[in-house]
Amino acid sequence: MTIAKGDHLPSTTLTMMTDNGPEAVPTDSFFAGKTVALFSVPGAFTPTCSAKHLPGFIDKAQALKDKGVDEIACTAVNDAFVMGAWGKSAGADGKVTMLADGNGDFAKAVGLTMDGSKFGLGTRGQRFSMLVKDGVVAELNVEEPGDFKISSADHMLGQL
């Protein structure tokens, strides 16, 4: 079952790269008491994700925060080392929190997986964005396969 607007995010654990190595990030605590602009990409360092999706949220970070977003986070079915390296190479530090969904548990729990096997990617998270307020989905923008329109930072700014 796919998560919907008004649903509470399921309890799962993501991972964040820190100076001390990978650190577990329980979704219950990460999303509690704040407004989070969360977006998911099929993979770190992939073309659309690196050229448009992540850079858009980095560029619009202050505008999103000015409209009430406390934190911006990116997730992908990649390990914490890859997500950390991608965030550093893209200049995301201090703007976008990079959250690894290494086993795809979060993507499965919200019902937003995709089969990237024909590209050698296996099961991944779909491209989407959501606005989460105190753990509850306030807005959900799921892209059609191959599209990049409604999950962008610009689209989310229009929803705030």
Residue 84 within a domain: yes
Domain ranges, residue 20? 13-159
Give the residue-averaged pLDDT of 7-36.
97
The CA distance from 34 to 70, in Å, is: 6
pLDDT(146) > 90: no
CATH of residue 24's domain is 3.40.30.10
pTM score: 0.94
pLDDT(121) > 80: no
Tell me what pLDDT residue 123 has. 81
Residue pLDDT, tens place only, 22-61: 999 999 999 999 999 999 999 888 777 777 899 999 999 9
Residue 7 within a domain: no
Residue pLDDT, tens place only, 75-114: 999 999 999 999 999 999 999 999 999 999 999 999 998 7
Residue 20 within a domain: yes
Residue 4 within a domain: no
Would you please indicate which residues are annotated as catalytic (active-site) residues? 49
Q: Are 82 and 100 in contact (CB under 8 A)?
A: yes
Long-range contacts of 115-123 (CB under 8 A, 24+ apart): 116/42, 116/43, 121/42, 121/43, 122/77, 123/77
Q: Are 67 and 160 in contact (CB under 8 A)?
A: yes
Give how many domains the chain has, as a whole number. 1
Tell me what pLDDT residue 1 has. 73
Residue 5 within a domain: no
Tell me what pLDDT residue 75 has. 97
**Mean pLDDT across the chain:** 93
Residue 38 within a domain: yes
Residue 24 neighbours by CB distance under 10 Å: 9
DSSP element (H, E) containing 156: helix 153-159
Tell me what pLDDT residue 141 has. 96
Grouping H, G, I as helix, E, B as strand and the rest as coil, residue 25 is strand
- DSSP alpha helix (H) spans, 2-140: 27-30, 47-48, 54-59, 61-66, 80-90, 105-109
Residue 144 within a domain: yes
Grouping H, G, I as helix, E, B as strand and the rest as coil, residue 106 is helix
Residue 91 within a domain: yes
Residue 5 has which token pair?
Answer: 């607007």
